Amino acid sequence: MSSLIEANGPLFGTLLVFGQIGLFVLVLLLSLAFLLLLDRKVWAAVMMRKGPNVVGPFGLLQSFADFGKFLLKEIIIPAGANKTVFLLAPIITCTLAFAAWAVIPVAPGIERGTSWAVADLNVGILYLFAISSLGVYGIIMGGWASNSKYPFLASLRSAAQMVSYEVSLGFVIITVILLVGSMNLSDIVNNQSDGFWSWHAFSFNNILLFPVMFGMFIIFFVSALAETNRPPFDLAEAESELVAGYQVEYSSTPYLLFMVGEYLNIVLMCAMMTILFLGGWHGPVPVGDWINDYPLLNSLGGLFWFMAKIVFFFFMFAMVKAMVPRYRYDQLMRLGWKIFLPTSLAAVLIVSGYVVYTGVQA
């Protein structure tokens, strides 16, 4: 790709980057439509019903029908709402959700040593921290601008919940950074290329780290549920108490933007678990160096494994929603501050001590 840009000039390079971004966004939206259908089908199967099955064969076009419905409905703005902030909030939420995906490497690149990512930053982890921290603003703005007590209370709940669990998520990610010695997401993936026994969730090649890293994997999964307001931590959208939470006054396209942003963040968390703990695009068994002679096959195979792992985690998210009852708010906060925070901090100390003592990364 770099040779193409050098041969055709900077304008071609700019157009190529915009083309990559457009293609990536299109694929992401199409994937989101079918993942949403999977979500609803899993809930239906647990409840012993069919789920969406009218629009298209097996309901495959249901998400597209819902998308069209939201686009065509009238946008209703409450009389007492701050209209500018009210409409800006879902745009911010959706834009930040897309922006976070810019540094996610989804497969090895055609050129050796590269990866399929819009921007393969050396500080990709810091970029994700920054974007996830800004995501709270869209929810706060939406709840406040609605000028209603239910959305405002829900936005405060959601903001406190997201800030609380970002701390433990940060410490979990630090343990992985210590093992790899890099904040580049591609480096983290390549550090797990020797098979499933080298994946950070198991760390069988460093058996002393296995209980620590497996515990961090579980904490990251549960914290991801809380960070994305998924059951059993959907206190911000508790129907029995707060109706639809901070989205209750929204309709039509603004509501659609909130939902797209929420599901993009859910899939992002699935991708982060895949990258940090389950080997990214690497399969459970190494295929050998011969695959480097077939770069396209290597890229497509890596993309398959990456997508399969994301679908697996998304399925687990859906199963948790279908089976686990909602926590109380005090239980939610107690779990985050009194259990996950000290446990993840202790894990940082253990892993850093291991790295300093042995002098090598995993």
Cα–Cα distance measured from residue 110 to residue 65, given in angstroms and rounded to the nearest whole number: 36
Q: What are 139-164's pLDDT values in tens digits? A: 888 888 888 888 888 888 888 888 88
Of 46, 72, 98, which one is at a domain's C-terminal end? 72
In this structure, are 89 and 173 located in the same domain? yes
pLDDT for 239 equals: 59
In this structure, are 235 and 128 located in the same domain? yes
Q: What are 46-85's pLDDT values in tens digits? A: 888 888 888 888 888 888 898 888 888 888 888 888 888 8
Which residues are CB-neighbours of 298 under 8 A, at least 6 positions away? Answer: 108, 291, 292
In this structure, are 201 and 158 located in the same domain? yes
In this structure, are 96 and 197 located in the same domain? yes
Which residues are CB-neighbours of 216 under 8 A, at least 6 positions away? Answer: 172, 175, 176, 277, 344, 347
Tokens standing for 31? Answer: 């994937």
Average confidence (pLDDT) over 197-213? 83
Are 156 and 252 contacting, i.e. CB atoms less than 8 angstroms apart? no
pTM score: 0.89
In this structure, are 190 and 320 located in the same domain? yes
Instruction: Say yes or no to pLDDT of 2 above 60.
Output: no
pLDDT for 54 equals: 84
Q: Where is pLDDT greater, at 129 or 241?
A: 129
In this structure, are 37 and 111 located in the same domain? no
Q: Where is pLDDT greater, at 245 or 178?
A: 178
The pLDDT confidence band at residue 43, using thresholds 50, 70 and 90, is confident
Q: Which domain holds residue 108?
A: 81-358
**35, 36, 39, 43: CA torsion to nearest 10:** -150
In this structure, are 85 and 52 located in the same domain? no
In this structure, are 125 and 26 located in the same domain? no
Buried/exposed code over 209-218 (b: 16+ C-beta within 10 A; e: otherwise): beebbebbbe
- Max intra-chain CA distance, the chain: 65
Question: 115 φ, ψ to 5°?
Answer: -145, 160
Tokens standing for 245? Answer: 């939470």
List the one residue out of 126, 102, 114, 67 whose CA is nearest residue 253: 67
Cα–Cα distance measured from residue 307 to residue 313, given in angstroms and rounded to the nearest whole number: 10
Average confidence (pLDDT) over 186-200? 86
In this structure, are 182 and 304 located in the same domain? yes
What does pLDDT average to over the chain? 85
The pLDDT confidence band at residue 9, using thresholds 50, 70 and 90, is low
In this structure, are 128 and 68 located in the same domain? no
pLDDT for 181 equals: 86
Tokens standing for 149? Answer: 């007590």
Q: What are 330-359's pLDDT values in tens digits? A: 888 899 899 999 999 999 999 998 888 876
Instruction: Say yes or no to pLDDT of 208 above 70.
Output: yes
pLDDT for 269 equals: 93
pLDDT for 309 equals: 93
Q: What are 216-250's pLDDT values in tens digits? A: 999 999 999 988 888 888 877 765 565 667 788 88
List the one residue out of 63, 29, 351 whose CA is nearest residue 179: 351
Of 72, 106, 131, which one is at a domain's C-terminal end? 72
Cα–Cα distance measured from residue 271 to residue 241, given in angstroms and rounded to the nearest whole number: 32
Q: What are 84-98's pLDDT values in tens digits? A: 889 999 999 999 999
Instruction: Say yes or no to pLDDT of 3 above 60.
Output: no
Q: Where is pLDDT greater, at 338 or 114?
A: 338
Percent of the chain with pLDDT over 90: 19
In this structure, are 63 and 103 located in the same domain? no
Cα–Cα distance measured from residue 274 to residue 307, given in angstroms and rounded to the nearest whole number: 9
Cα–Cα distance measured from residue 298 to residue 221, given in angstroms and rounded to the nearest whole number: 28
Instruction: Say yes or no to pLDDT of 290 above 80.
Output: no
The owner of tokens 């993936």 is 189
Instruction: Say yes or no to pLDDT of 362 above 60.
Output: no
Percent of the chain with pLDDT over 70: 91
In this structure, are 153 and 9 located in the same domain? no
Of 72, 91, 107, which one is at a domain's C-terminal end? 72
Q: How many separate domains does the chain show?
A: 2
Q: Where is pLDDT greater, at 183 or 241?
A: 183
Buried/exposed code over 133-163 (b: 16+ C-beta within 10 A; e: otherwise): eebbebbbbbbbbbebebbbbbbbbbbbbbe
pLDDT for 203 equals: 78
